[in-house]
Amino acid sequence: MEERIGLDAGGNLVRLSWEGSQLVEVAPVQGEPGRVFLLPLLVDIQVNGYAGGDFNAPDVRPEEVRAITRRLWREGVGYYCPTVTTGSRERMLRSVRTIAAAWREFPEVADSVLGVHVEGPFISPEDGPRGAHPREHVRPPSYQEYLDWQEAAEGRVRIVTLSPEWPEAISFIGRVAGEGVVVAIGHTAAEPERIREAVEAGARLSTHLGNGAHALLPRHPNYIWEQLAEDRLWASFIADGHHLPFATLKAMLRAKGPERSVLISDAVRLAGMKPGRYPRLQRTGGGAAPQRTGAACRNPLPGRSRAPPSSWRCQRGTSHGVLPRRGGADGLFQSRPVAGASGRGQMVPRGPCQLHPGAVGRAARPP
């Protein structure tokens, strides 16, 4: 039996006991608080890459998926969804197939990867909503292409982000949602009525709401208000202080409530790297091509030797994460922290739980 004493998310001193990889007990104790935090592992449902690794690179290998997984552990992220973004059919299938191979080959990947999140290519072709996705590879929803992803992923595609503005979108959403996959609205220029139709068809998540949007929108109505007001939609937010101003994020969180809000990093390969200049990657259909110009990787937190993920600040304050699971509407999302999360950040055991090596006491540490 091993144990560690530290603070839980509520600032209470607790003793965490485990045997092997099984959590046995979390019990309150008396004593000095100290500086060790014992918090549930974080869940991130949108990770494009990390620490130099890129799931969308043309030469991504299973070993790179494993390396990204282990580096995310060091930030307290125990579970995540590798995210495959818009590209050629061949490149996207290669990325999905590589993630599935890593799942088979490496137990740590199988333990940590909840499923593949495919963001695009069925998104808006318009500048603004399209974001950084290459326009030449944006295309209408295709159920056959989705089936090809699932075959390559061995059935592990769990989230699909698309725009409902396409004529084919509503029927596509109904078929995919009917299979238990979470359909998310994102990178969209859809009219509010179309958003409502997507929700009726089975869409249940808004991907990084407030980003991947036009710089100027009608005051009202618009697709952001419509998604905020729809109680059947969860919403993910990039809460790094840059993608959404504080006042905007505060208002959005109040609209959705903590029970329907998901904090994500949307991290790319530069996250977690030392501050410096790196070759700029121009996203193309075939992957990422290095350019002559440099991309600066700056550290927004003084005293840290590496740049954190874009949502590191939100990860510090997140007591639990959510993940999609197959099943009925009652089980669209469930929390899956290491030590469980009851209410807002209280640590309570939920039976046997897996512990990742090196993760105990490291999650969500303050700067």
Whole-number pLDDT of residue 247: 96
> Across the 367 residues of the chain, what is the mean pLDDT of every consecutive 10-residue run?
82 85 83 72 95 95 98 93 98 98 97 97 97 97 98 98 98 97 98 98 98 95 97 96 94 96 94 82 49 44 43 31 30 31 28 37 30
Nearest Cα neighbor of 303 from 367, 236, 212, 229 is: 367
User: Which residue in the block uniquely carries the two structure tokens 């290491």?
Assistant: 338
Whole-number pLDDT of residue 123: 98
Q: What does each C-alpha distance from 340 to 47, 320, 354 come to in angstroms?
A: 22, 8, 11
Residue 135 carries which side chain, given as an amino acid letter? R
Q: 182: alpha, beta or left, given left = phi > 0 and alpha = psi -120 to 50?
A: beta
Whole-number pLDDT of residue 342: 29
**Architecture in CATH for domain 44-334:** Alpha-Beta Barrel (3.20)
Nearest Cα neighbor of 321 from 128, 76, 93, 108 is: 76
Domain ranges of the chain: 1-41+337-367, 44-334
Whole-number pLDDT of residue 287: 47
Whole-number pLDDT of residue 282: 55
Q: Which of 8, 54, 240, 266 is catalytic?
A: 266
Whole-number pLDDT of residue 281: 58
Whole-number pLDDT of residue 35: 66
Whole-number pLDDT of residue 7: 82
To the query of whether residue 266 is one of the catalytic residues in this protein, the response is yes
Whole-number pLDDT of residue 362: 32
